[in-house]
Structure 1
Amino acid sequence: MTTPGFRPTHVVPPHGLPAWEAPDPARPTVPLDPLLPVQLVDRRGDWGYIRCANGWGAWVDGRLLVAVPDDPPAGGETDGIADPRPLLARVEQALADYRAAVEDLAAGGLDGEAFETRTEGLRIGLVVDGASMWLYDPQEGRWLYGDGRRLSTYATDRSVDGVDDGARASDRLVAPEGER
């Protein structure tokens, strides 16, 4: 469930990020998943307080967050993905696969190890805010912004032409599969 008013300002770096309950290294909490969209709410020196789409918050090393553009990509800056529906269908299928695994686990048909095996490699991400959408494409390793008509890359977890992973899409765009 997405918290009303959630608008990502950053994504977690491609290799994940440790998190803390307070700006104190002695109080660790659950680490953040790679490329998770977050909202930077507060800063205290190098510490950044982030909030996730589900309302959960934590303190992180704010210097490591990857900023997303203040505004969605300009019209016409598409990555050859004119129609978001095929990617949305893959998200729906991944969610259905995960839901089925959870149901089997809850019914006792799977143990924890079998659940992990069944869901290994399954990655989805979706934030919908009115007409705006942020969608993770695991096949291309990137987060996309969509307005219902087209998608544009705004963060990627892959290196392209020697550029470091996690660069902002406004700094570089990733060519769609088949155009590399």
Structure 2
Amino acid sequence: MGPPDGFRPTHVVPADGLPTWTSPDPAAAGVPLDPLLPVALAEANGNWARIVCSNGWTAWVDGRLLVALPQRPPATGGPLATTDDPRPLLAALERSLATYRRLVDDWAAGRIDLETFRDGTRDLRLGAVLDGSDAWLLDLDRGRWYYCDAAQLQTYATADRDGRS
């Protein structure tokens, strides 16, 4: 059985999997879901959430535990408000990622200890989600998540100083 027509995941199952129920009732236990399985939220009822899997199977889960996937911003019907060139932000993300990779390599090879690794990464902040041509980029200097469509950035959400939206 293939995915339901128009299946587009809205969430994934947490990294340690997720129990299911056949109805929103703690006594109606079902089979657990695999870690990081993409699912679509079909219905919410308090903390309960009915999800649909790509094969059409449906179940109830604790909706608080689902990990939301980013979605494209809604169409505005007009030009995007922010037209910043995404390349400077991409370059900053590349530098941060390269620094982190170098420190991981140094730690794994025994050239630095864990305390030196932690000191070297303390001020690194990086956020990027890529899904085909869609990108969500975190700029902590400005405290914003941006949606990027290759040509321009659009503010998607603001983040606090710790990078949380």
* Correspondence for 1:85: 87
Give the fraction of aligned pairs with identical amino acids, expressed as a percent.
40
Question: 1:91 aligns to what SS in structure 2?
Answer: helix
* Correspondence for 2:64: 61
Q: Which deviations, in whole Å up to 9, do the C-alpha atoms of 1:36-75 show, x marking residues without a partner?
A: xxx77446742669xxxxxxxxx77369x79866536655
Question: 2:137 aligns to what SS in structure 1?
Answer: strand
Query: Rg larger in 1 or in 2?
Result: 2
Question: 1:154 aligns to what SS in structure 2?
Answer: strand
Q: Which amino acid aligns with 2:99?
A: D
Q: How do 1:31-180 and structure 2 match up within 5 A?
A: 41-42=40-41, 45-46=46-47, 61=64, 71=74, 75-81=78-84, 83-158=85-160, 166=165
Q: Which deviations, in whole Å up to 9, do the C-alpha atoms of 1:82-141 show, x marking residues without a partner?
A: x11010000110010001101110111111121111101211121222221111112112
Q: Which amino acid aligns with 1:113?
A: E
Q: 1:148 to 1:80 in 2, by over 3 A?
A: closer
Question: 1:108 aligns to what SS in structure 2?
Answer: coil
Structure 2: any 5+ residue segments left out of the alignment? 1-7, 20-37, 51-61
Question: 1:86 aligns to what SS in structure 2?
Answer: helix
Query: TM-score, normalising length from structure 2?
Result: 0.57
Q: Which amino acid aligns with 2:149?
A: D
Q: Which has the higher contact order (CA 8 A, sep 6+)?
A: 1
Contact 2:140–2:159 (CA<8 Å) still a contact in 1? no
Query: TM-score, normalising length from structure 1?
Result: 0.53
The whole-number CA distance in structure 1 between the counterparts of 2:133 and 2:72 is 17
The whole-number CA distance in structure 2 between the counterparts of 1:73 and 1:121 is 36
* Correspondence for 2:57: none
Question: 2:118 aligns to what SS in structure 1?
Answer: helix
Aligned pairs, number: 126
Q: 1:44 to 1:112 in 2, by over 3 A?
A: farther
Q: 1:107 to 1:41 in 2, by over 3 A?
A: same
Q: 1:136 to 1:41 in 2, by over 3 A?
A: same
The whole-number CA distance in structure 1 between the counterparts of 2:88 and 2:134 is 17
Question: 1:115 aligns to what SS in structure 2?
Answer: helix
The whole-number CA distance in structure 2 between the counterparts of 1:130 and 1:87 is 18
Structure 1: any 5+ residue segments left out of the alignment? 1-6, 11-18, 24-38, 50-58, 160-164, 167-180
